[in-house]
């Protein structure tokens, strides 16, 4: 029993290390590049570019800086900037919900788009999809809230983050802690997946979700892939997503549909609860985002089914090696 357990543990650690290294090769250069861009004012410049867009979705132009920070960085950094900017320009709950929902759909794009590209999806398509979907959903929420007179009271954030140290050393230490956490999350996820496979839960989940996924056009082979992305997020589950997609065990079109769904609506627990502290309402950050994402995938499946393989490879998927 002991040798078997040791062999299992060794294989699990080796697999977790391999997946983590694949992910870190993508993440570390991008994290450093984004930090350099931030230091040279790229975020502020992007914020100015996005300023007119904010007016279309009913937000002050200053909120362009918040979204720009989130697009290039992550949800948590965006929340810190939001609290700082909104202190001088208070928003309604509706406006906060619109902004938070857009942040959820389009954030951490340098890393998440590269992961999607590595898994076989065209970077250009995913980038336009994430940015376009964030804008369309934000605009739709703004129109609905305005028309119905909903959530028009002044917003009060539920929590105010406090940053004690913003030095480069503190930033580097924080990034290192994050990478270590990702390794242990991947290790834990692999352990859970192996246990679920061994006791048959994975097969049961696949059978239960297959009819629902079929309605969207996603095959059963992408079931666990989709679950990982939607619950853990692309950054945490990225290594597993790449591994499954390049293994050939998942159909290329299913990889596309799965990554689109998790791109628009991933990390349902952590990210949703994170932006909720800004005062955003769950009708937008969870309900509308989930419905919108499912509709988008359904329409994409219908569109792709009408296209030739050549067109699909040209616009949506990178040709297989």
DSSP notation for 214-232: HHHT--GGGHHHHHHHHHH
What pLDDT, in 10s, does the model give residues 171-205? 777 778 777 877 777 777 677 767 776 777 666 66
Q: Predicted confidence band at 46 (pLDDT cuts at 50, 70, 90)? A: confident
DSSP string over 128-188: HHHHHHHHHHHHHHHHHHHHHT-S-SBP--S-----S--SHHHHHHHHHHHHHHHHHHHHH
pLDDT at 159: 65
Q: Is the pLDDT of residue 122 over 90?
A: yes
Helix (H, G, I), strand (E, B) or coil at 121: strand
Short-list 303, 316, 289, CA closest to 126: 316
Q: Predicted confidence band at 95 (pLDDT cuts at 50, 70, 90)? A: very high
Percent of the chain topping pLDDT 90? 28
Q: Predicted confidence band at 130 (pLDDT cuts at 50, 70, 90)? A: very high
Lowest mean pLDDT segment, chosen from 20-34, 79-93, 139-153: 20-34
Domain boundaries, the chain: 2-153+166-315
Q: Predicted confidence band at 118 (pLDDT cuts at 50, 70, 90)? A: confident
pLDDT at 164: 52
Rounded to whole angstroms, what are the CA distances from 286 to 61, 102, 105, 251? Answer: 25, 12, 11, 29
Residue of higher predicted confidence among 42 and 115 = 115
What pLDDT, in 10s, does the model give residues 15-29? 778 777 777 777 788
Q: Tell me the pTM.
A: 0.82
pLDDT at 152: 95
pLDDT at 231: 72
pLDDT at 169: 77
- Give the mean pLDDT of 234-249: 72
What pLDDT, in 10s, does the model give residues 143-164? 999 999 999 999 988 765 555 5
Residue of higher predicted confidence among 287 and 13 = 287
- Give the mean pLDDT of 41-55: 85
């Amino acid at each position: 029993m002991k040798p078997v357990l040791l062999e299992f543990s060794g294989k699990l650690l080796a697999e977790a290390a391999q997946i983590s290294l694949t992910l870190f090769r993508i993440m570390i250069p991008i994290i450093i590049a984004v930090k350099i861009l931030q230091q040279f004012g790229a975020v502020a410049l992007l914020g100015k570019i996005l300023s007119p867009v904010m007016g279309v979705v009913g937000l002050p132009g200053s909120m362009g800086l918040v979204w720009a920070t989130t697009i290039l960085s992550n949800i948590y950094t965006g929340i810190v900037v939001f609290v700082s900017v909104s202190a001088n320009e208070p928003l309604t709950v509706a406006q906060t919900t619109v902004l938070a929902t857009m942040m959820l759909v389009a954030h951490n794009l340098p890393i998440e788009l590269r992961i999607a590209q590595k898994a076989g999806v065209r970077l250009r398509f995913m980038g336009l999809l994430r940015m376009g979907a964030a804008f369309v959903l934000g605009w739709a929420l703004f129109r609905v809230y305005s028309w119905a007179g909903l959530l028009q009271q002044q917003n009060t954030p539920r929590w105010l983050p406090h940053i004690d140290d913003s030095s480069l050393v503190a930033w580097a230490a924080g990034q290192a802690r994050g990478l270590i956490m990702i390794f242990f999350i991947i290790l834990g996820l692999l352990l859970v997946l192996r246990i679920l496979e061994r006791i048959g839960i994975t097969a049961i989940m696949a059978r239960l979700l297959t009819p629902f996924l079929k309605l969207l056009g996603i095959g059963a082979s992408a079931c666990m892939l989709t679950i990982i992305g939607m619950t853990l997020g692309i950054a945490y589950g990225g290594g597993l997503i790449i591994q499954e997609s390049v293994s050939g065990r998942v159909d290329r079109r299913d990889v596309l549909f799965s990554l689109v769904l998790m791109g628009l609506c991933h990390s349902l627990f952590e990210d949703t609860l994170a932006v909720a502290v800004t005062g955003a309402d769950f009708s937008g950050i969870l309900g509308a985002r989930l419905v919108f994402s499912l509709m988008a995938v359904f329409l994409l499946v219908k569109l792709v089914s009408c296209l030739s393989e050549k067109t699909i490879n040209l616009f949506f998927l990178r040709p297989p090696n």
